[in-house]
Structure 1
């Protein structure tokens, strides 16, 4: 099996992504910076379908797990490449209170609410505001009461490729009533190329001195725990799999890593959050964000049940996610950074995935 591509611009059939869903047209869009990045995105769920970059030998590799037909995403329960919301990650028991009112959300990750509910932003056909060679701008209007959330929310996401082999993801949102908001991109990364096997030999750095411990249902306890002396210390590059099977209660809860890391505040608006290197390809990726946290998820619940691009399957731990975010269950955790958005306020968030060239 080869994990390299001669022509990333023609590796996917755009016609396989064309479908009318609830009166809206889903399509595939391609972006290229004419240098080291080619990207494919569908407006169904505003999903990152593929990202091609060059390995240490100069060959193109697709480093994002995904499907080569829209139907794969329609059947997907793992949020491949999607923009998730209205609240990314978990809300305990699907309940929260806001300005004196109680709200009840769907329980779709029992006993909790996950990634916006049974039909979150990942399952919507987004409107295309503009599309060019380097930038795709998508918008979704989430009506008041959708999945139990208050307020009509207007959310725009900008996908843009920069000259320095950087994929920029910008979010802008506003609401007509007080609500909670936490959005992220849920790409599954394998820097050796999709289908190249487990990611356990990848080296990973996370710029975090603390993480948020969770209970057995993966809801934060409210504490901030030091990473020092634990399997959660990635302040120096470590192999993802070096300690993933340690006898640690937190790893047992998540069946591996499925935890929020509290990013160190460097005082910069766009902070370095994480960096990873593929052991076979040498492909390097750095993540910069304006968000206070990042969720490391190591594909612990992938089960080889789905056929992905190029006829490959989604094996357990064959990818990792680095989901920049506010913390899980923040609406119920007054000590966590606020996720409240009120009328008249503009929500802004940015995350960049940078590919500085492969390590030799």
Structure 2
């Protein structure tokens, strides 16, 4: 049985009114000890707790115990929603309806990233509805906000079932043609949010993508796709993050920060398998399915470097977050899609509904089966152990 409860998380300044406002937290839990906590500030996923193969429950999402933690680390966008347009907009402009639209530039005063100076990560979202299986949050983005045309009305549906699936469904409508690309930016560590670099290096991943989005030196997309064959980005067969990160040594980017092309053609009616993220020591895994064409995957490369004695980010329960303490996943349209005609469109018209669906499935795999050969697992049948 799924239960929903609420409490007060803290107080934050509303960026539109400059007044203090209560920030509430909503907890969604099921009968299998899986729980997700969401706060109104940024519609942020503040916590995801789930058991391991030995029934130990750990929080697997990096974040903070109070509003101050999120405010002081805003630039890294822990667990929050991104929009109106997630990821990059090159030169802060694009052509729409035969006219140039200029939006704010919050990335090096040249480009826009994640919706601008007051993106969806800074908004205190309204509770639209408390449901038997979750919550719906809402926000109305005003005409011209951060330079975007049209009034955009957004609903965020967060729900859960007893098969340990956590659903994130996003709906948006506009009164003028406008681009929409809304995403969530969580940092995960399935070993537990306190496990740090060691826990992350133990993860084994599969990402179902044949291509990545090719970029320039300043991380702007070229409009072309790059095949993953014979590169560090080929994760189509299980590989350990630790093995792959060693291949980034002495490179300008010290780890993953790439948008994978899951579905180059994009059909919002089709849910695709995106990837499987497994921590063999605990047995915890997370599988992702989404109707979005891309996934930005990154390994917290810009977190403080403990090898250089940099001060850590102080997270929940006094956890110390250093470089590689988590990996982030961001299901989205391709970056700068409005300026690349070969990418799936991000524009919606007043007659259209923007719909984003991502499903996170959590479970445990018996630790001894993590090392079994494929043919051995095939003889044994399903390797998934349901929570008890």
Under a length normalisation based on structure 1, what TM-score does the superposition of the two structures give? 0.91
Q: State the Cα distance separating 1:253 from its structure 2 match.
A: 5.4
Q: State the Cα distance separating 1:34 from its structure 2 match.
A: 2.2
Shift of the 266–156 alpha-carbon distance from structure 1 to 2, 3 Å rule, reads closer
When the two structures are aligned, how many residues end up with a matched partner?
347
Question: Residue 103 of structure 1: which of 101, 104, 119 is its match?
Answer: 101
Gaps of 5+ in 2: 305-310, 368-388
Rounded to whole Å, the distance in 1 between the matches of 2:129 and 2:260 is 34
Rounded to whole Å, the distance in 1 between the matches of 2:248 and 2:58 is 35
Q: Deviations over 1:140-160 (max 9, x none)?
A: 111111111111101111000
Q: Deviations over 1:158-210 (max 9, x none)?
A: 00011110110001100011110111110100000102011122111100011
Rounded to whole Å, the distance in 1 between the matches of 2:176 and 2:45 is 30
Rounded to whole Å, the distance in 2 between the matches of 1:16 and 1:83 is 17
Rounded to whole Å, the distance in 1 between the matches of 2:284 and 2:185 is 20
Q: State the Cα distance separating 1:310 from its structure 2 match.
A: 0.4
Instruction: Specify the alignment match of 2:30 in structure 1.
Output: 33
Question: Residue 59 of structure 1: which of 56, 59, 62 is its match?
Answer: 56
Rounded to whole Å, the distance in 2 between the matches of 1:125 and 1:192 is 30
Gaps of 5+ in 1: 1-8
Given that residues 266 and 344 in structure 2 are in contact (C-alpha distance below 8 angstroms), is that contact kept between their aligned partners in structure 1?
A: no
Rounded to whole Å, the distance in 1 between the matches of 2:118 and 2:187 is 20
Given that residues 36 and 165 in structure 1 are in contact (C-alpha distance below 8 angstroms), is that contact kept between their aligned partners in structure 2?
A: no
Given that residues 288 and 358 in structure 2 are in contact (C-alpha distance below 8 angstroms), is that contact kept between their aligned partners in structure 1?
A: yes
Q: State the Cα distance separating 1:214 from its structure 2 match.
A: 1.1
Rounded to whole Å, the distance in 2 between the matches of 1:342 and 1:266 is 18
Rounded to whole Å, the distance in 2 between the matches of 1:67 and 1:185 is 16
* Structure that is richer in strand per residue: 2
Instruction: Specify the alignment match of 1:306 in structure 2.
Output: 313
Given that residues 64 and 316 in structure 2 are in contact (C-alpha distance below 8 angstroms), is that contact kept between their aligned partners in structure 1?
A: yes
Under a length normalisation based on structure 2, what TM-score does the superposition of the two structures give? 0.85
Q: Deviations over 1:293-347 (max 9, x none)?
A: 1111111111254311001122111111111111001011001111011111111
Instruction: Specify the alignment match of 1:120 in structure 2.
Output: 119
Instruction: Specify the alignment match of 1:131 in structure 2.
Output: 130
Rounded to whole Å, the distance in 2 between the matches of 1:323 and 1:124 is 19
Instruction: Specify the alignment match of 2:77 in structure 1.
Output: 79
Instruction: Specify the alignment match of 1:4 in structure 2.
Output: none
Given that residues 218 and 254 in structure 1 are in contact (C-alpha distance below 8 angstroms), is that contact kept between their aligned partners in structure 2?
A: no
Shift of the 215–153 alpha-carbon distance from structure 1 to 2, 3 Å rule, reads same
Q: State the Cα distance separating 1:277 from its structure 2 match.
A: 0.7
Which of the two has higher C-alpha Rg? 2
Shift of the 252–157 alpha-carbon distance from structure 1 to 2, 3 Å rule, reads farther
Rounded to whole Å, the distance in 2 between the matches of 1:253 and 1:118 is 27
